[in-house]
Copies of this chain bind each other. A is one copy, B any other.
């Protein structure tokens, strides 16, 4: 899909943007700027990437600035999905100086976090090319799931479940409570015949065969060795999609991809990807 991915409805994250501003402004507001900068002073500057990365969250950052002061103007030079080099200016801002300074950290916290996820996803996606697809997990940070999963899409990945309610995913703990793979898949199928996909985690070829026999849509191959995974992929072909899971890193991903698996899920994209370093550099130089 060359078309850029669709961002979540602003109405869904604007409350978080307001909350984050409130979290930073506290009860007394920006003491430093209030003391040092005249209320009507204007300023201009750039959002600059200190390191190279894929940009995600620029519209959220814009909303933080304009949420604090609707008169701030932002010219976006690197939109979501663009790859920026180290030192590149991502956007030019101008407006009330106090507003730019007061919104800076909140805007950058969103932009850095989401661009960090997009950058990490893009790096993995580049290592595997068109197949398999890199997918995320539900290991997201509280309150940020929809934005984080959007950043994964921006990075070239695809989304796994958004929550417990949009597909069945039968894992280890379920099998301990519900009996074997085949019984569990059949039971889920009879509970939700219509529109709901069923995925099951398997650790052996026996479990795989049970899952396929019961009609699972997707099988998650959990922590399998590459040769075992390749055999599992071979058996599942045409019967179910296959997903590799479990501690996969940039170092191991090529070997996993070579098994022919359809999907590789990577939890750390959303819970541990380092933030992309972006800063606000105001123009000019005060009298000294």
Contacts and interface: CB of A to CB of B under 8 A. Distances in A.
Copies in the complex: 6
A3 to B, nearest CB: 7
Contacts of A187: 35-36
Interface in A91-141: 97-98, 101-102, 104-106, 108-110, 112-113, 116, 133, 135, 138-141
A28 B177 contact: no
Contacts of A178: 36-37, 286
A30 interface: yes
A224 B53 CA distance: 26
Contact of A32 (B39, B143, B188): B188
Interface residues of A, number: 117
A143 B143 contact: yes
A160 B272 contact: no
Interface stretch (A71-79, A193-201, A229-237): A193-201
Q: Choose among A25, A165, A176 the residue with the greatest number of B CB atoms under 10 Å from its CB.
A: A165
Interface string A48-92: 000000000000000000011000000000000000000000000
A238 interface: no
B286 A180 contact: yes
A162 B30 contact: no
B197 A196 contact: yes
A26 B176 contact: no
A285 to B, nearest CB: 6
Contact of A165 (B39, B101, B162): B162
A253 interface: no
Contact of A288 (B29, B37, B179, B280): B179
Contact of A19 (B105, B143, B193): B143
B165 A195 contact: no
A274 B282 contact: no
A148 B66 CA distance: 26
